[in-house]
A and B are shown apart, each in its own frame.
Chain A
Amino acid sequence: MIFFHSTRNELIKIALKPRSYLGLAAITGLVGIILFALMADGMSMISFVTASFEQTLRFEGKVLNGNLVAFIILQMLIVHIPLLVALVTGDLISGEAAMGTLRMLMTKPITRTQLLMSKFLAGGIYTFLIVLWLGFMAVGIGRFLFGPGDLMVLNSDGLVILQEGDIIWRYMGAFCVAFLALLTISSLSICLSCFSDNSIGPIVSTMAIILLFTIIGTLDVPVFDTIRPLLFTTHMAAWRSFFEDPIPWQQIKESIGILVAHNVLFIGVSVLTFHRKDITV
């Protein structure tokens, strides 16, 4: 029962903290800007991409539709969302320590594991809401403004065209994997939060780790070949696999496995660290 109350408390704190709305506001603002830009000058951008295919292919119908707009938005924003997630979740333990409220909480008859798990759960729910809002803004508003249509995706293997009726479930799958990737960021930032007594440190550290791993992942150096597939950042773009034809299910399963393993690792390290932490502030 105390775990339920603690989770409820964490959600109330997130809901009433002004910082929590930065993420939603940022997504709204950024998607709004992208939608405006695509409405104003989207066709010339599409023409630039399709020009190389015009000698062999002829495009008919509305290429710049809601599905393509949503895909473009996801491509552009999925890199920035981790910061918005870490901004709130990186503060969940260390922010309480900095405020002194962690001391107050830990004099209550709640176990450290219960408190920590309620924070992970609340962080996960917040992350889910961020993804849901991104989905609504990208797919919902995108389709509302630009209308439905077949999705044209350009990837490393070439051009993939997906039928309108074959798209929504792919978006749902993509958002599930994107949520798992962002949940990993949430877990990482909460884990780092256990080591710190100030709120900025874990947020900056989370972004630094993402940046470092992304650089390692993109450097085409053989020495990193063995670790590259194990880095969670390598699998953060796994949502894109849902827009390939055929869908590389094995690759998606591997990505999910790696992301889940990272979540378990971060939660495990957090529990061990927090359990041994002296509350001195």
Chain B
Amino acid sequence: MSDSIISIQHLAKNFGSFQAVRDVNIQVNRGDVYGFLGPNGAGKSTTMRCMLSLIKPDAGDISLFGLPLASNRTQILRRVGSLIEKPDFYKFLSAYRNLDLFSRISGAPSTKKEIYQMLEFVGLEGREKDQVGGFSHGMRQRLGIAQTLLHNPDLIVLDEPTTGLDPQGIIDMRNLILRLKNEQQKTIVFSSHNLSEVEIICNRMVIIHQGKSVVEGNVKELLNEEDQIIRIQTQEDAITKGMAIVEKYPNAHVKKIGSDTIEVTLQKELIPEVNRQLIEAGVPIFSIESKRKLEDYFINLLAS
């Protein structure tokens, strides 16, 4: 069986004279948690919609599970669960009825028991018979996830699944994605504006900018995870001494980013040693925090 779950080559889509997508190339493999990154209007949603045949591309090839999408749409979509943009449901119907309707056209209709179990899984137990019109955004998002997972798809596509969620909801969603990957070996593709989220969850990613995939690949390789950026907070009068100590380490880059804070780039395994040296030299350490690198990477890439 092929390990390629999604393969997109030279995708292009115009809306009138506007080029929404110019040249997007993507390769998602089995078991990947794959992040879509890009500023607003970059073409992430259009690419996802093309991937689900909501939008017909003007050019390019899209294959899912090794099959061309154009000629195998229904066969492919049986194995895909997706939530594109916000979760929209029939507001005049109950949560149970909504899931029942979508389940019946998913190719594998679910039983009442399965639907109730899924609603319990996403934390909507007791709300099965309530009209969706009265649900909060977070509840609808959870119902959307239930709709996505109900027919046990191999590939899950989520477009900005944490948008509009409260902090607990974001953590729950992140944990859910990791559970789906680790416990059920699902392949997950999701877009997000939250760079740290992508850095934490994804093993592969693409950055789309102005309709083109500018970077695609393994997150660790792209971010050069051997090097780490840390921020060290100390006393104002000890900062010069601290910088001098850190600069002695090979390939270390140090810059002062505040009156009492320095930002250091150095090899990951040297961090405990640097910490020890600073303390031994009498430099008080108030905090050492690891800085997510994707943010810098993303900003530098788009700026260039």
A residues with a Cβ closer than 8 A to B are 2, 5-6, 8-9, 12-13, 16-18, 99-101, 103-111, 276, 278-280
Inside 8 A of B201's CB, which chain A residues have their CB? Answer: none
- The answer to whether B54 and A101 have CB atoms under 8 Å apart is no
Of chain B, the residue at the smallest CB distance from A5 is: B104
Q: Is B102 an interface residue (CB 8 A)?
A: yes
- The answer to whether A9 and B104 have CB atoms under 8 Å apart is yes
Q: Is B162 an interface residue (CB 8 A)?
A: no
- The answer to whether A278 and B73 have CB atoms under 8 Å apart is no
Inside 8 A of A278's CB, which chain B residues have their CB? Answer: 15, 49, 54-56
- The answer to whether A104 and B54 have CB atoms under 8 Å apart is no
Of chain B, the residue at the smallest CB distance from A277 is: B56
- The answer to whether A111 and B84 have CB atoms under 8 Å apart is no
Which B residues from 237 to 270 make CB contacts under 8 A with A? none
Q: Is B75 an interface residue (CB 8 A)?
A: yes
Tally of A-B Cβ pairs under 8 angstroms: 83
Report Cα–Cα, A111/B102, bound state, in Å: 14
Given contact pairs A101-B89, A103-B88, A104-B88, A109 touches B54 in the complex (Cβ within 8 A): no
Report Cα–Cα, A52/B284, bound state, in Å: 114
- The answer to whether B88 and A12 have CB atoms under 8 Å apart is no
- The answer to whether B105 and A104 have CB atoms under 8 Å apart is no
Q: In the assembled complex, how far is the CB of residue A11 from the closest CB belonging to chain B, in whole angstroms? A: 11
Given contact pairs A99-B90, A101-B90, A107 touches B52 in the complex (Cβ within 8 A): yes
- The answer to whether B80 and A107 have CB atoms under 8 Å apart is yes
B residues with a Cβ closer than 8 A to A are 15, 49, 52-56, 73-78, 80, 82, 84-93, 97, 101-102, 104-107, 109, 147
Given contact pairs A5-B104, A110-B105, A13 touches B49 in the complex (Cβ within 8 A): no
- The answer to whether B86 and A100 have CB atoms under 8 Å apart is yes
Report Cα–Cα, A101/B74, bound state, in Å: 18
- The answer to whether B54 and A2 have CB atoms under 8 Å apart is no
- The answer to whether B78 and A104 have CB atoms under 8 Å apart is no
Given contact pairs A18-B92, A99-B88, A99-B90, A106 touches B54 in the complex (Cβ within 8 A): yes
- The answer to whether A8 and B75 have CB atoms under 8 Å apart is no
Given contact pairs A9-B104, A107-B77, A279 touches B88 in the complex (Cβ within 8 A): no
Inside 8 A of A99's CB, which chain B residues have their CB? Answer: 88, 90-91
Report Cα–Cα, A153/B49, bound state, in Å: 59
- The answer to whether B88 and A101 have CB atoms under 8 Å apart is yes
- Residue pairs across A and B with Cβ atoms less than 8 A apart, 11 shown, are A5-B109, A6-B104, A9-B101, A100-B85, A101-B90, A103-B84, A104-B87, A106-B52, A109-B73, A109-B76, A111-B74
6 closest Cβ pairs, A-B complex: A100-B88, A5-B104, A109-B77, A279-B54, A109-B74, A109-B78
Most B CB within 10 A of own CB, among A9, A109, A110, A276: A109
Report Cα–Cα, A210/B159, bound state, in Å: 42
Most A CB within 10 A of own CB, among B15, B56, B74, B105: B105
Given contact pairs A107-B54, A280-B55, A8 touches B90 in the complex (Cβ within 8 A): no
Given contact pairs A2-B105, A9-B104, A276-B56, A107 touches B84 in the complex (Cβ within 8 A): yes
